[in-house]
Structure 1
Amino acid sequence: MLNLATKTWNQYSAAPHRLMFLPGMIQLLLIMIHWGIELTGRYTTLWSPLTLNVPGFALHPFLMLYGVFPFFMFGFLMTTYPRWMNTTEIPRSRYVPAWAGLTVGMGLFYLGLFTQPIWVTLGLVLFLAGWAWALAALWAVYRGAPAADRYYETWLNAALVMGWLGAAAWLGWRLGAPTVWYAFSLKAGFWLFLIPMLVIVAHRMIPFFSSCVLRPYTPVQPRWSIPLMAVAVTGHVVLSLTGHWQWRFIADFALAFLALHHAWHWGFRRALAHRLLAVLHIAWAWFAVGMLLHGVQSLILMTTGHGWFAHAPQHVLALGFITTMTLGMATRVTLGHSGRALQVNGFTWACFLSLSGATLTRVAADAPWLPGGYTGPLNLTTALIWLTFITPWVLYYGPMLWRPRADGRPG
């Protein structure tokens, strides 16, 4: 038994994406199970909403912003950074402690929700320490790599730092800092961390993956894209925190233009014939839709004084863009680095399409013409779709992370 456990651990820890992806997958389920229980308590008489040591209004956004995606992002970047910059792989001595800090930290965080609040604090401290350790591992690759062009890595490092600051601000608010720390945490996590991370990775990888499948194909990766994105997301955050929501359309339509321009030049329609590639292009299309909705929402606020669509634009980005893009990249990495063909079966394709379905139901819940009585059922439907399709996705791809490669190669 001990030998089996040791063998399984050695296989599971053989690469950073193996270690990091699995807790990210588990988080995908835990967070939505919690949210489904919470929504059922709000909108039905089956039970009351959960009473935890972190209020629901703060818990759900924190877990969605910081509890899931850092695992996937660090797993992806710790695997790809050395390849992008032509250097040696990150050793276990660097990525295992990072995984331990992030994973044990989240475990203590969950323990503190149901027991003593001190465990929430200690868990977050350990989680931030794991994040910092992972950043240091990536920075060591960045500093020591022979590659002269580190354009994408420079921007990615900045986004990861902003994510750490956002999570730290949430902890500061938790310990008694002013409410603006909480507001900054939400905006930084979404607009300065997740959106930039996915835009940069997509800018780097979608044209590359498309060129491997679509022929003829000319990769389009203009250098103005990422600086424009950085200015726009910063503008969105500043306008939000200063209360000038009605002016956010300036930044939001700039991002919508970027998204539509790239979707056209990256070959959205041609990519739909290839499922694994189509997932990334569909996710990018949701980015365009989300930014258009944000811009229209801001214009309506300016012209009428009323805000339409509530949280719909944000959920288009969170479910349609961020989650779909993340799981698309994770699926590709898991298949490729487990020695399997880069092809998705009908089951996996249905799982990805379900995310678009969940996006549509969540948007419908905030439609201004919808009677209020439909909001709760549609929100519950969104959570149910997530759990119905993401659970089997996790059960299918999760075991690949601790099993030997299908082609017999190490790693």
Structure 2
Amino acid sequence: MKNSYFLSQPHQPFFVLSFINAIIFMLMFMLSYKGVLPFSVDIVNFHAFGLIYLFLTPAFFAFLFTTFPRFLSTPVVLKSLYIKIFILFVLASISFLIGAIFSDLLYKIGMILAGLGFLYSYKTIFDIYKKSTVVNKHDAFWILAGASFGILGIISFIVTPFTNFSVQVSVYLYLFVLAFSVAQRMIPFFSQCRFNKDKNFVKYVVIFLALHVVCELIYTNSSFAVDLILAGYIAKELKRWKLPFPNQNPMLSILHIALFWVPLAFFLSAISNGMELFYDKSFLALDIHSLMLGFLLTVLIGFGTRVTLGHSGNMMFANKLTKFIFIWTQIVVLVRVLVSVVASLGMNFMILFDISITFWLVLFIVWSWKFLKVLTHGKKLN
């Protein structure tokens, strides 16, 4: 076990766990939603907590365990430390999955174990931040700030049933702030873009996000005006970066697309929230799904593929299958957006719903087929 390649770098076991959870959780959600698989817990709570804290969270922390020490010029995260955190997330996933079907107690224990894994992960990156002697910690500060909101979000999920507060804080102030803080630093760097960085950009984004959450907590869907401001503000800043898109390198293009989804997602959020508020339309959480899939899923596939290749000694090259994975990711996003549009028109969306989840499963099965042995055994790709 000590000499296992699978455990030799922090991203490897966490990525494997996250991608397995992505397949199992979504399959169980679909079967439960259709009444095939009986759940002992609320299906929406299962869907939200599972994807936020047992799918995306281990993957993003794995990325930080790999890159955060490089950001801040500190020693790498010790294997003995990240293995303990990995075990906590594995136990959390097992307990959460079994408990969803058979036992409320096991389900709650799974959430608590995920909370412990989260706190342990947070302490790890906080210690890195605290020990660093690097002068410019601006981006690292906002990454840490996003993770701090995650503590509030996961405690809210554990202590209370599924609530608007737990979802809003977890998606907008935790997941998005953390991932966007990384993306706005790394993607321009990978793209060799040279521009005078606005040091207040992320700060203003976080302020507007906080205002979005406050509006939603005061009155559901009332954040449409804030979302429109966010869409315009972020779009204007991205335009200033002059990202080289379209790009001949698919490894960069997928990351650029992830960034472009951010203002588009907030624009869709403004429209859907406004329509729901004033015309009593139902868009099936288009606001959250366009951001979660358009930005977070796309950036995960982009960064995950890049890290998997780069840290295994493989060439940073996208062959035909990798290009298919990148294109398919966008098909997954667009089909889910279409589900919301069809639902808003009062039409039957269940066929599209099944298709959207099937496409999700295809995405992660194909990605795993292509890269799983790279993560577990260091396979060299042609």
Q: Distance in 2 between matches of 1:34 and 1:258?
A: 38
Tell me, yes or no, if the aligned pair for 1:210 and 1:266 is still in contact at 8 Å: no
Which residue is 1:335 aligned to? 309
Tell me which residue corresponds to 1:382.
356
| 2:340 aligned partner | 366
TM-score, normalized by length of structure 1? 0.87
Corresponding residue of 2:156: 169
8 Å Cα contact 1:271-1:277 kept in structure 2: no
Amino acid at match of 1:278: S
1:367 aligned counterpart, secondary structure: helix
**Could you tell me which of 313, 317, 322 is aligned with 2:296?**
322
Q: How many residues align?
A: 381
Secondary structure of 1:68's counterpart equals helix
Are the aligned partners of 2:275 and 2:281 in contact in 1 as well (CA < 8 Å)?
yes
Structure 1, unaligned runs of 5 or more: 1-5, 42-47, 212-216
Match of 1:58 among 45, 48, 57: 45
Distance in 1 (CA, whole Å) between partners of 2:189 and 2:148 is 26
Asked if structure 1 preserves the Cα contact closer than 8 Å seen for 2:66 and 2:76, the reply is: yes
Report the Cα offset of residue 85 of structure 1.
0.8
Q: What are the within-5 Å matches in structure 2 for residues 224-373 of structure 1?
A: 224-243=200-219, 245-246=221-222, 248-268=223-243, 270-300=245-275, 304-307=278-281, 309-367=283-341, 372-373=346-347
Distance 1:357 1:161 in 2: 33
Distance 2:346 2:234 in 1: 32
SS of the residue corresponding to residue 126 of structure 2 reads helix
- Using the TM superposition, give the Cα deviation of residue 300 of structure 1 relative to its aligned residue in structure 2, in angstroms: 4.1
The answer to whether structure 1 residue 99 and structure 2 residue 99 are counterparts is no
* Match 2:167 to one of 171, 186, 189: 186
Q: Which residues in structure 2 correspond to 1:82-93 (within 5 Å)?
A: 82-93=69-80
Instruction: State the shift of 1:270 in Å.
Output: 2.8
CA contact (8 A) 2:18 2:55 kept: yes
Displacement of 1:356: 1.4
> 1:387: Cα distance to partner?
1.4
Q: How does 1:108-187 map to 2 (within 5 A)?
A: 108-174=95-161, 182-187=163-168
What is the CA–CA distance in structure 2 between the aligned matches of 1:187 and 1:279, rounded to whole Å?
26
CA distance in 1, matches of 2:247, 2:156: 40
Between 68-77 and 130-139, the greater mean CA deviation after superposition = 130-139
Residue type of the alignment partner of 1:375: F
Distance 1:230 1:56 in 2: 30
Q: Which residue of 2 aligns with 1:12?
A: 6
| Percent of aligned positions that are identical | 24
- TM-score normalised by length of structure 2: 0.93
Which amino acid letter does the alignment assign opposite residue 29 of structure 1?
I
| Cα distance between partner residues in 2 of 1:386 and 1:282 | 18
Matched AA of 2:65 = M
Q: Per the alignment, in what secondary structure is the counterpart of residue 260 of structure 2?
A: helix
Q: Is the 8 A contact 2:258 2:299 kept in 1?
A: yes
Provide the rounded CA distance (Å) in 2 between the counterparts of 1:297 and 1:370: 9
- In structure 2, relative to structure 1, the CA distance for the partners of 1:28 and 1:310 (3 Å cut) is closer
Q: CA deviation at 1:301?
A: 5.3
Query: Partner residue of 1:3?
Result: none
Deviation at 1:381, TM superposition (A): 0.9
Amino acid at match of 2:257: I
Q: Deviations over 1:202-233 (max 9, x none)?
A: 1111110000xxxxx42453212101111111
| Closer/same/farther in 2, CA of residues 87 and 369 from structure 1, 3 Å limit | closer
What corresponds to 2:177 in structure 1? 196
Q: 1:166 to 1:285 in 2, by over 3 A?
A: same
Question: Secondary structure of the residue that 1:366 maps to in structure 2?
Answer: helix
SS in 2 for 1:162: helix
Q: Following the alignment from structure 2 to structure 1, what is the Cα–Cα distance between the partners of residues 337 and 187?
A: 26
What RMSD over aligned residues (CA atoms) do the two structures have, in Å? 2.2
1:382 to partner: Cα distance: 0.6
Distance 1:346 1:83, change over 3 A: same
Cα deviation, residue 405, structure 1: 7.0
